[in-house]
Amino acid sequence: MKNILFVLILTLFFSSKIVAKDFTIQILHFSDLDGNDASILENVSHFSALVNAFKNDPVHGKNTLLLSSGDNLKPGPRFYAGKEKQLKEITGSNEPGNGDIALLNEMGIQASSIGIQDFAAGVSALQGAISGDGITTARFPHLAVNIDFSTEKNFDLGKNAEEVKNLFGKVAGYAVAIINNEKIGIIGVTDPYLKKLVNVGKLAIQPKDPEDVEQLALIIQDAVGKLEAEGVNKIILLARIQLNRVKILANSLTNIDIIIAAGADGKSSMGDNNDVLFLSEHSADKDFSENYPYTTHDEKGNPVLIVSVDGDYKYLGRLILSFDDNGRIRLDSLNPVINGAYASIEAVVKKVKGVPNPKVLEI
């Protein structure tokens, strides 16, 4: 009898350990806030309500990452509104772009890649927006592993593989977020065509040949290896690169689990059949260009999930998934009813019982 009892206890003990090893995370994501200013400012209220609803979800809220794949800034009336007295009274800064950074801060973004439009006002303007002043210092890192930031004195350089909370107002190649005691690696990569499209000052962008996917993959893979050496086995790539090129890149990488791609070319708007299309006086979407998420594989055959949603705060992407103890995605954990693109419109906000962020409304 004692032997039977002992076996039962051991069975229960090891079974519970196996179950406990699965880790579930909720990833909220967006990008490309570089379209119509009026539309963006109209959408951000409902967008913040969606963020609030999902961050406060009783099941998944505590294990949440909010990420952007870049192009959060763009020269224009919204960008230069930072110089206005009314906005300075709220943010404490008169740097151009401070309003956009303040919005992201208040919604709790944890990391972002850097896009072409982020550089459109110049290197100094981007640095000023990131470092800011008062509440507008970016409370998250800007990541791009294929940019050598040390060649430009304007940036505050962060240490690679540092925790995101220690990289406020800084730039780096990659970082780590700790969610419920689990390390999540976050690598940023910008479009290698960057230098051909905007003035990036003395910054060195790799690879020199922007079409060299293999070289870009090697740069990213080096960061993967260094994160793995730190005990990280779950890695997200924030790719400010269009979806069709990201799909090719994914197959040349190893041990990247999730790629959040750019979403502003009209061909990168992902969604499920049960997702509601965005509709406003400024924009009316007719369909999604791709199913959410796009499932592919890395160079070794491991699953990779690629996600992207249309920009301008029109949609908030929501991806909930589980990893096994080896950091491999459990594809059977994906639920299309929950995962997908959530439109920043009143009907969707009501459905998820979202409440706009009052600080976002003030800004």
C-alpha closest to that of 68 among 307, 346, 234: 307
Mean pLDDT, rounded, for 256-276: 87
Q: What is the pTM of this model?
A: 0.92
Residue 97 is predicted with a pLDDT of 87
Question: Which residues touch 200 (CB under 8 Å, ≥6 apart)?
Answer: 119, 123, 194
Q: Do the domain assignments include residue 13?
A: no
Mean pLDDT, rounded, for 216-227: 99
Count other Cβ atoms within 10 Å, centred on residue 243.
Answer: 22
Q: Do the domain assignments include residue 158?
A: yes
Tokens of 145: 């592993």
Q: Residue type at 329?
A: I
pLDDT mean across residues, the chain: 91
Confidence of residue 259 (pLDDT cuts 50, 70, 90): very high
Whether 341 has a pLDDT exceeding 50, the answer reads: yes
Tokens of 136: 């507008």
Tokens of 188: 């940023």
Residue 231 is predicted with a pLDDT of 97
Q: Whole-angstrom Cα distance, residue 118 to residue 100?
A: 11
Q: Do the domain assignments include residue 7?
A: no
List, for residues 62-105, the tens digit of each pLDDT value.
999 999 999 999 998 888 886 777 777 777 777 788 889 999 99
Q: Do the domain assignments include residue 305?
A: yes
Residue 133 is predicted with a pLDDT of 67
List, for residues 286-336, the tens digit of each pLDDT value.
999 999 999 999 999 999 999 999 999 999 999 999 999 999 999 999 999
Q: Do the domain assignments include residue 283?
A: yes
Burial class (CB in 10 A: 0-12, 13-18, 19+), 337: exposed
Mean pLDDT, rounded, for 35-61: 95
Residue 79 is predicted with a pLDDT of 86
Q: Do the domain assignments include residue 9?
A: no
Residue 136 is predicted with a pLDDT of 73
Confidence of residue 269 (pLDDT cuts 50, 70, 90): confident
The residue behind tokens 């409370």 is 139
Do 108 and 66 form a contact (C-beta atoms < 8 A)? Answer: yes
Specify the number of domains making up the chain: 1
Q: Whole-angstrom Cα distance, residue 307 to residue 294?
A: 6
Confidence of residue 18 (pLDDT cuts 50, 70, 90): very low
Q: Do the domain assignments include residue 12?
A: no
Whether 50 has a pLDDT exceeding 90, the answer reads: yes
Residue 16 is predicted with a pLDDT of 45
Q: Whole-angstrom Cα distance, residue 188 to residue 111?
A: 9
Do 112 and 144 form a contact (C-beta atoms < 8 A)? Answer: no
Strands 162-163 and 174-179: parallel
Instruction: Give the domain CATH number at 271.
Output: 3.60.21.10
Confidence of residue 264 (pLDDT cuts 50, 70, 90): low
Mean pLDDT, rounded, for 329-351: 98
SS (H, E, C) 172-235: ECEEEEEECCEEEEEEEEECCCHHHHCCCCCCEECCCCCCCHHHHHHHHHHHHHHHHHCCCCCE
C-alpha closest to that of 329 among 261, 257, 233: 257
Q: Do the domain assignments include residue 11?
A: no
Q: Whole-angstrom Cα distance, residue 159 to residue 230?
A: 13
**Owning domain of residue 326:** 23-362
Mean pLDDT, rounded, for 275-292: 92
Residue 4 is predicted with a pLDDT of 54
Tokens of 275: 């997702």
